[in-house]
Every structure is written in structure tokens, then in C-alpha cells.
Structure 1
């Protein structure tokens, strides 16, 4: 969009015109010691708390206090099937069918559960391909899977690297890796949106390429869920995992979401770790039945749902369901584009944005490199009332989240950065 303008009045005018601006009022915005709202651009790390979250959790606390164990069946939202209250909104959010999604466990735990099923190494085909600058937890997880199966983790891990002097990954390089090593690769596991650069990958293209060489394909969508249109069903990936505490605003360390493609839904022979919550609901409480796996993503559950944690997720998902990803994405592209426009005014000799400039290849996060800057710049930004995110060696990550950030937030952040520089 080329018709952005400079000045505070323009930013304020955009906020007046923004039909989603009223949702900001539905979040707790952190304040400084003088009671002024901070400029919070860290939703890529931890989303803000919806004001409704307390009511959703209090409902369950009340039902627990008043009903005790009977809350499993008689609570306002019966606990026995609480995870099912999240299914439809989650499916809408990530572009999946309800049978393909479930909310359970934490992120890296789910990644391991998925690899128990979809990483099936043989002597000839055992390697795992990830992006070279994957989130550390993903790298540690796949290395440990290689070791668990008796392989050398250095030799078994293949890295999709950026070219010399570049930060972003190139699909031609991925094609070359597959051409040379496709017959050795059992699993491709990529972060759907790279945590460092903010590059949003073409999931469908990667899945198609991987499958053409007989590889399983999965994505960690921690930085994608609630931020970009993932279209997981249409992407044809085998599995995906994500967290709920970043763009999904469900609270620190909250549960993870899981996607398993419909084509695997009824495959009872697929190896997996199991527990009683993946067993047939009709006979689950008969206790002495032989294991009978549920169809779809629910068949990967182990334990009964943690209700208080899920109540916070439900509060957030109800809001996402009301707004819809289409409207969020429309604002996101406009807001992030405006942010990019203001940063570029500071000059290429000072600021470098390493996130893709194509709005379809990124979400709302912009990763900024400031020439000759170190972490002291980030400290100064924080002291000036801007909450952003430092990533070694030299990147400040800022995410103007469309659900609660304003055009004025973005304008004031760039003004403060200008003053510091």
C-alpha cells in the first residue's frame, strides 16, 4: 500500500477508521509506573491477556467449588468434553477440518508425539531436514529423536541454509537438497513462520516437494497460528503443532494445538504413544476394555483436559471466532505495511528489515537490524516504554498484533526509536 502518510494525525485517523480498534479495549495493556500504557509489540513472544479470561476461569473455579467431581458432567461447560469446545474455533483458525485438530499437552511434547508417529526411520532413510536457524527447541527435539533411534544426530540432521550474506531461505536450495538427499530423508520438519526472520514459508509447496520424494512433512506453527492463514488441510502436510500463548493470547506456557491430516484419521496401525483419552469415548470408563483408538487428531491425546488452562484458551478463541482470520489479516497487512513504511524513512544506512517485504511471505512481525547496534539499544527502547524482543546477535523483533495494537502504537514506537538513534 503506497498511500501511507507521515505524522501522528494520520495514525490517529487510521485508528478511527479501523473497524477492529474496539477490540483493543478488551485487553489488559501493561502500564508503566506512572500509569501510562506501554507500547506492547511483543505478541510474537507472549500475547496480552483478554479481559474476559478471568471470567472464563472463574466459571470453572465456581463449578469446581460448587459441584466437585460432578463438574465433569454437570458444570456449565462439562469438563469431560471440554477440549471439544475448542475444536471448531481451532479448525477455523488454522484452516483445518474439526477431525484434524485437538488441543493438548505443550508444544515440544506434541512435536515428540507427532514424531513418534511420523518419523519412521530405516537404515537407508533416517535423516531429518530442518531450517538451519530453526527455533532451538525444535532442533533439540529432532536431534534427540535421531539419538533415540540409534542414529548420529550430527550426521542425521540436514540443514536448509540461507545463501552467503542472506537471511531468508530459498526454495531452489530446498529443491537441491531433496534432489541430492531425498532418498535418505524420513522427515522434513520446518517452522511455518521462522521465529528469527519472520519468513512465512509456503507450506503447500514444501509438503508437495517432500511427499514427491517419499518424506513425511510436518510444521511447527508456533509463530503462525493466529498470525497468518495456515490452510493446514489444503497444504496437505502430515502434521503440525503450535502454541496458544503467542498470537493466541491464552497465557504463559499454555497448551499446544495439534493437527493431523484427515488422510491419517482412520489409520489404526499408525504407531503412536497412547493414553486413556485417545480411547473410544463410549467405552473409556469401562476401564477394562482393550485399547480402541479414536479417529482423527483426538486419537493422539493421552490425558483428560486441564480445565483451567483450557478456559483461558476458550476465552481467546471465542474472540478469534468473532473477528475471523480474514479481517485480522486485512488489518495486519495494513498495520505491518505502515510500520515498514515508517522504519524505511529512517534510512537503509541505519535500519535493515530482514523480514520479507512481500506481505504474503510474512505475518505481523518485522525483524529489525540496526547498524552497529548492540543490546543496549533494546534496553533504551524498553526504558522509553516500548516492549519488544531482542534476539542475538543483533535483531529487534517487533510484532504489531492486529487484535490489540494500534496505528498510533506503531507511530510512537518509530518516533522513540528515532529519538534514541
Structure 2
């Protein structure tokens, strides 16, 4: 005889009230009575999503629900969310597409699909997903917010603003909706409005990383250099990896043949790598910026400033011809070169596997670079050859990891 489903309304109410730990406890009690209940496993997966340490467990619960009920579309939705939170876009996309194949009329499924498309730079596909979802639920605030972001990325400012207002009209008490409106305002060059949205989002949910990241970007957008560069990068990010590499290579070739353009190319190249580290460091002297940065961003800024400081001090020493300390020029170039893997590794934080590879390469470059500087200071033969290896390794790193 099947167990009663009287527990389901209680769990749904707890989840609606965002009391996820209590809902998870209730679900576990039910699963002890009936471990083969796919609905309970899928809902437990959803309850575990807010805890980064339990994302693998959430994935396991969703996969178990699918094993128990292969035609249960909500289980594939839960799996897509778990994969998305673990930064596995291909797996998340496969799962949400399966959920849509089983139920093509659920608006929430289109929200996940659209978010994945947006994050991969497919603005039109994200817009199409949002509008398809809205055709099934015209009051879905999240889909209106997604529509606004996709329109903003395409430069359709008025339409994006209208969609953002529609989202706020339906979900102004949601931190996520406020944050989405903030991103739209930021991407349509309204940084002050974006600040207000992000502050409201953090008031509603002080733990929201999505809103905190937006607040940091809005504070940096007050600098016109950063603001202008980011608008260009939004466009570049919509290109394929091959086209982006071709664009950078083409710009370098043009700069080589037109020397007057070389300074502009160098500024672009350095900003493309160091914009976040530079402007995050600037925010640390801001009245509000220092509190907006996360502990991780502050630590990364410390490492960036330390390497930059070594490069500046060693470079000045070499230029001033400091007697008795050979190899200062080599040390300055090594410190500058190591900024690339330092920043590159941080940029890959959403891709753990690539980040690990980048970290290993960075440590290898550091060993070679420090070795070449040490040999140069000791005036030992072979320093220049080792330094050449470091330079070529750094250039290779930038090409392999720049557009990951």
C-alpha cells in the first residue's frame, strides 16, 4: 500500500517560506518511510541547492529521482539546477532540454534554459527562451527579467528598460528580480539606478552573491574608462572563441604596422586582463567599495598589489642603476609576467577544472621566473636562457587561457 502524500503540502509551504532546512528535514523523514518516492528526492535536491557544500548531494538526489521515475520532468529540472550551480553548463543544458522535452509548457524550465544561453553569450537564444516561457506564463517575473537582460546585451535599451519594469512590477520583493534590474541598468549605462537596485536586492537578501557582484560592478562603472571598456567587452563576449582570438591577433597586427595605434592596443590588452584586479583595488579606497568586495576579492587584490609593488620597486631600482644588485630588471619583468596567471586563474573561478590547470601552469611559471631572477642576481650563466623560457611560457599562457 503506497504511503500517504499528506506531507507534500507541508513541504511546499516550507519551501515557499524559504525555510529550506526544515523542508529538507521533513523530506528526509518521508524518505525513511518510503525511499523510493521520486518527488521527495527531487524536492530534497532543490532544498540543498543553496548550500555550496551540498551541491554534489543535491545532484545525487536529482539523479536518484530520475532513476526512480525516468519520465518525471521536474527531476530533470532539479538536476539542471544542480549542474548549473556546479558550473557545468553542458550537463545543465542537457538536463533542462530533457525536462522541456517531457513538459514543453513549464515557464520555469525556459528560465533555466535562457540563463544558460545568456551566460554562453547567446543573447538571441536567451531572448527566445524568455519569450517562449512568457507565452505560457505572462506573469513570470524571472522571465521578464531574463528578457530584459537579453535585450540589454543586444543594445536594445528602451525595450530592456520596459522589460525590467515589467519584472519589478511582478516581483519587486524578490532579491533576484531587483538584482536582475540592476544588471539591466548597468548594461544600459545607468550606473546610479543600478546601485539602487543592487542595494535593495541586498536589503532583501544580504547573502546574495549575485547582488553583491552587481554592486561591485556598479561601483566600478562610475569610472568612465571601466564603463566604456565593459560595453566593448559585452560585444566581444558574444563572439565565438575563434573570432575573439582572431580579433585580438588582428588588432596586434594592425598596431604593429601602424605604430601610432600601438599604445591604444597595449591599453586594451592590459585592461582585458587586469580591469577587475585594478578597479577592485581602487574600490578599496572608496567609502563604500571596501565593504562591497568579498573576502576573496580582497585577498586577490592583495596578491595583485604585492606583485605589482615588486615590479615597480625592482623596475625603479634597475632604471636608477642601483649598485650591487644585479638582476633587478629581470625580477621586475618576472613580477609583471606573473600577474597574468594570477589574474587568469581568478577569472576561471567558475570553471574549477580549467582553474586547476591554470594554477599549475602559474606555479610552474613562477618557479621558472624566480629561478631566472635568482640566477641573474647571482650572475650565474644560464639566467638569460631561463628568462627566455619564462617569457615564452607567459605568452603561451595568455593565448591558451585568455578566452577560456
TM-score by length of structure 2 reads: 0.28
Greater relative contact order (Cα < 8 A, sep 6+): 1
Which structure carries more strand by proportion? Answer: 1
Structure whose alpha-carbon radius of gyration is higher: 2
Which structure carries more helix by proportion? Answer: 2
TM-score by length of structure 1 reads: 0.27
